[in-house]
Structure 1
């Protein structure tokens, strides 16, 4: 009896453990699985995969539910492909996904399409697929299933998948799937990976979830003439070189050639010679080898040796990664060596096209607010996708900032005559950059909340035509006295002191504007006006004032700036901030940068830059002459830099080729400016936007850092890093800062490394979607510095110094911040290179370390 109870207990324990294992395997917490076109509120569990699918009704507001024709509903067709949502209206229709794991994570996103002649037209459409503001792919639907899949590192909590009509038929979608990946998988900085193919050799059926916990689709390849299928029933473990976590079921099958005289060859074509391919090849030995048997092979791409000799590990996965480009057709060959007694084998392969998505989007805080407002008031407007991008699809009633460096912010919103009811939504308090808010002519009730007074940028607030009760908050009235244009009316239902006696006209239903209205304020204004006129009469003409240049009197009036610039007649530059003009102060030339009046974020940068330049002085930092801050007119006056910015001398068709020594000198100058900011200022300052166009050159080609609107000073509590909104320019942006949102001085070091590479190569940070750092690394593999240095120099450089500078630049641009040098180290090394001296031994973190790179050493 005791033995029976023990046996019974063991059975129960085994059952519990089995349930726990099943539960662990069935973790779909990182999944969003949408069956497009099924009835709102519908859910089901797919019989094939065990994945839980939901209706798309909660993710999009537009479109029509459709079914494919019964003739196309064959038994093997996935259930979610039998319905679809079509979009006969609107040019752009967007699904909004908000994975609970949020931004900074890597996701697999898969959009699926099955036409099935749902519209009885027998005309398959063609349309574009977007991720937010970035084009993902052109969808050309045929008679069979089409899957578009991308691995995407998102910088926002929101992912917008948009279908765009290009005039070749109505867009539609059958299923939309999102899967959370491990961040170490398929890691390549800021680029997304568009799936080109994924093959499972020797298999007879598709492998998906739950065999692959990330639900990748491994397509079977078997029964190929001249090749032999191989299988094992034993599990295949992951090797140390495999970050991609290929499932055991995929690796338990393979194909091999019939003998060692034949190569395994996989070929594919590219539509564009500039396309780049990322190739992941997965190997495992799944046969039992005899003592005298060996399997050994080399890998070639387009007949060029890439790796080997390799021998796959016994029931253990090894992954090899390669890049390939600059061709229209490719062949990957696995070729047995002379020492091999067994033919070549391959288990699986993945190929991706890397694409760089700019990910310009609305700041998450503002986007969350807009979705909350839409939900709170049940608004039926065509509000979908990102509120601020693309520019021609901004949400109705919304205006956004136009700064390209940061995420976009909402600066005005008009919800008048929108049928709003209830109280003013508390979420509005999060629109911290809003300048104009119009809630007039709705059915809003309750009291006017005082949080509206805490919106520092708010200049116009329209509340008339509602049914508010109670007095206006004293804080809001005080803000109105300081310039807020506040319009409201006494409806007769408010308390008697709703407008605070003396501040509002109490005639029923009579609109009033609360601003600076009392007679006392008018008297004060008159006094200030008289005093200002007297002061102006005492002021000399700006062209004759000797004290303009200097820290004692840096403020200029707008009329003075107009005289300096000859009424803004000579434009010398334009940017996201505004326009730059040249001018004269006496006989001294100056540069005047005027803030665009529509740039809300620009005013914040204007304040930051003026504050920094008034306190920071260095020979390699552009000097502040003065500034203008008069009403809507904001401008900064700098010393004039006769040779413009560095970019115009390296790219943009420049005919003047900078010599090798001058390039090193420019790099050295800029490095000294950064070193001063990092190590000579208290607290330290991070520039945040180091790039060629922000390095200016004077008449002697001396380099000086400029444009400090994004700069960030570390407070005492920040110590090693500070968390801040991601800012910078694609191509120069530190990938570690982008992913972890942790700003350090090493973020500037990365950007400077890219600038140094541009100086060395004459190539821009990003060209034809290839970054200069990846291009240089690929050239380092070939071991020839001559092919890295700008060909316009025609060999006019010193060989050993060139290697030193290349090594320094690549180390600065290392993906890991701890491996980058400090700017003190950089200055020292560049000084040695200029002097032709032997470089100092930097710390061990300075050594070159290219992950997943093979080939000759640097020297």
Structure 2
């Protein structure tokens, strides 16, 4: 295989023919054609470097290609748009440059291609990418940057000497209200503006222990969600500070975006982007009018995994969410999932820390039993919660299932069904059997791998994300095969119809 040679991929199981006699190469799937052809290739986090090899374009039957989180450079080949069956293309987390080909953006915008490009800092995603003349600007910019860097260094040294530089999220939370004014002179919103934005708090769109969430409208026409914190809770103030400080420095397509905040006397509010489809918990309720299909559920799982994987492995030091649950997964108009509510989140003091001792917190049903017993918080505590969340998506059941005998945990409910191999009884019955059985079993296996009682037995979020992407590719491949079968059937019916005389 030319790709193996181009990137010197050294995998023990990448030997012989990738598809014959059976597909044994990790991260690779083949179809059942004669001869079989590669339809899915996952090379994420494989330390690939250099340009995107032309060999990828020879995979004419490819449906899913994941090259994320590598060291790839150069431009995105426009020829990707010519691959007829390509529906998933992940290129995020590389060092790609230039402009995104217009043909790829068109396929992405029309829903034909799921395109992921975030994390390529020098890649131009705009509709028009002008090639600026830099012969004159480069020396000027270099001079300005040099002066700016010098001034920044001097400022940092001065502030360090004066002890005024807040360097971590964890160091912020323990300080007093006066010490943590969040630079109130520069706060984006006054309380009067918050009242105006929400039309005097007219429309409630959510509620929790912190307070209420209101629908708001900015002057530029954008809709926003305004979380108003309770004035009486000291813990509420800590959560407010934690959430604002974290969202000011953490940015990802699968984390809810901060628009602004208000910290005026006793009035505390956080202003977010508005999520038109509410939260995942609402979508999974029995009386929900918008039933999520199987592919949408798997895509939501991938989105949530991407956001959590970024918090764990993309942030330095790592951040643990601590309250991952379906009501904290918000959905855009297009059902893109974003993790929200960072009030309980913890950042490790240093990148090398493996855990932090803290009071158990979270929501019953989702809390890691090891964390609840020991108070030792680590990334695997979030992994447990993610496993419960994935079980919810698969089964449509809440983490604590109410019955006449009381409450049954979702893991206790699903275990005997797994032992019997009864996948039909496990999957949400409202799907009416419209799912790929292999994909469903794989999703369930991923969920159960997240929930062993001992944290060391749980996988890292990067591994979970890779498995879920394969699961999504499997489902999309199944859907495409079904569509092709229908087309063939229609053509045959047409050709075999009797001629009118």
TM over 0.5: yes
Tell me the equivalent position of 2:447: 809
Structure 2, unaligned runs of 5 or more = 1-173, 477-501
SS of 2:287 mapped into structure 1: coil
Q: Report the Cα distance in structure 2 between the residues aligned to 1:745 and 1:554, rounded to whole angstroms.
A: 32
- 2:223 match: 589
Equivalent residue number for residue 418 of structure 2: 780
CA RMSD after TM alignment: 2.2
CA displacement, residues 326-351 of structure 1 (integer Å, 9 cap, x when unaligned): xxxxxxxxxxxxxxxxxxxxxxxxxx
Distance of aligned partners of 1:617 and 1:457 in 2 relative to their CA distance in 1, 3 Å threshold: closer
CA distance in 2, matches of 1:561, 1:555: 10
Matching of residues 648-727 of structure 1 within 5 Å: 648-651=282-285, 653-716=287-350, 719-727=353-361
- Matching residue of 1:503: none
Q: Does structure 2 conserve the Cα–Cα contact (< 8 Å) formed by 1:594 and 1:635? A: yes
Number of residue pairs the alignment of both structures matches:
295
Following the alignment from structure 2 to structure 1, what is the Cα–Cα distance between the partners of residues 475 and 207?
41
Residues 614 and 624, structure 1, Cα contact 8 Å, conserved in 2? yes
1:607 aligns with 2:241: yes
Equivalents in 2 of 1:770, 1:781: separation in Å?
18
1:555 shift after superposition: 2.2
Shift in CA distance, 796/717, structure 1 to aligned 2, threshold 3 Å: closer
CA distance in 1: counterparts of 2:291 and 2:446, whole angstroms = 23
Map 1:286-365; keep pairs closer than 5 Å: none
Where 1:644 maps in the other structure, the secondary structure is coil
- 1:462-473 aligned at under 5 Å gives the runs none
Q: What aligned pairs does 1:151-170 form with structure 2 within 5 A after superposition?
A: none
**C-alpha displacement at 1:554, in angstroms?**
5.5
Q: Is the 8 A contact 1:554 1:625 kept in 2?
A: no
**Is structure 2 residue 433 aligned with structure 1 residue 800?**
no
Q: Does 1:576 find its partner at 2:209?
A: yes
TM-score relative to the length of structure 2: 0.57
Q: In structure 2, how many angstroms separate the alpha carbons of the residues matched to 1:456 and 1:713?
A: 16
Structure 2: distance between partners of 1:555 and 1:652: 40
Residue in 2 that maps onto 1:312:
none
Q: 1:717 to 1:665 in 2, by over 3 A?
A: closer
Q: 1:695 to 1:593 in 2, by over 3 A?
A: same
Pairing partner for 1:556 from 186, 189, 197: 189
Q: Distance in 2 between matches of 1:652 and 1:724?
A: 36
Structure 2: distance between partners of 1:718 and 1:689: 23
Task: Give the Cα–Cα distance (whole angstroms) in 1 for the partners of residues 175 and 255 of structure 2.
Answer: 31
Q: Which of 366, 369, 376 is equivalent to 1:742?
A: 376
Q: TM-score, normalised by structure 1?
A: 0.33
Please state how far the C-alpha of 1:813 moved relative to its aligned partner.
1.3
- Residues in 2 aligned to 1:564 and 1:609: alpha-carbon distance in whole angstroms: 21
Dislocated runs of 4+, deviation >4 Å:
455-458
2:206 counterpart SS class:
strand
Structure 1 or 2: more helix by fraction? 2
Q: CA deviation at 1:628?
A: 0.2
Residue segments in structure 1 that go unaligned for 5+ positions in a row? 1-454, 459-478, 483-531, 536-552, 839-859
The answer to whether 1:639 aligns with 2:276 is no
CA contact (8 A) 2:439 2:474 kept: yes
> CA, structure 1 residues 652+791, in 2 after alignment: closer, same or farther (shift >3 Å)?
closer
Distance in 1, Cα, partners of 2:206 & 2:418: 37
Which stretch shows the higher mean deviation, 719-728 or 758-767?
719-728
Distance 2:198 2:251 in 1: 25
Distance 1:456 1:672 in 2: 32
Question: Once the 2 structures are TM-superposed, how far is the Cα of residue 740 of structure 1 from its aligned partner?
Answer: 1.6
Kindly tell me: are residues 649 and 837 of structure 1, through their superposed partners in 2, closer, same or farther at Cα, counting changes over 3 Å? closer
User: What are the Cα deviations for residues 683-729 of structure 1, in whole angstroms up to 9, with x where unaligned?
Assistant: 00000000000000010010000000000001127611111111111
Do the aligned partners of 1:594 and 1:636 also contact (CA within 8 Å) in 2?
Answer: yes
Partner of 1:393: none
Alignment of structure 1 residues 147-186 onto 2, 5 Å: none
Conserved? CA contact 1:595–1:634, under 8 Å: yes
Q: Is the 8 A contact 1:731 1:765 kept in 2?
A: yes
Deviations 1:666-690 (A, max 9, x none): 0100000000000000100000000
**Aligned to 1:637, what secondary structure does the other structure show?**
strand
Larger Rg: 1
- The 5-angstrom pairing of residues 420-431 of structure 1 reads none
* Structure 1 residue 456, shift from structure 2 partner: 7.2
Counterpart in the other structure of 1:625? 259
Residue in structure 2 matching 1:566, options 199, 216, 226: 199
CA contact (8 A) 2:401 2:408 kept: yes
Once the two structures are TM-superposed, the CA of residue 808 in structure 1 deviates from its matched residue by: 0.5
The CA distance in 2 between the partners of 1:827 and 1:686, in whole Å, is: 17
Contact 2:317/2:351 (8 A) holds in 1 = no
Q: Secondary structure at the match of 1:592?
A: strand
Give me the whole-angstrom Cα distance separating, in 1, the residues matched to 2:432 and 2:286.
Answer: 19
State the Cα distance separating 1:653 from its structure 2 match: 2.1
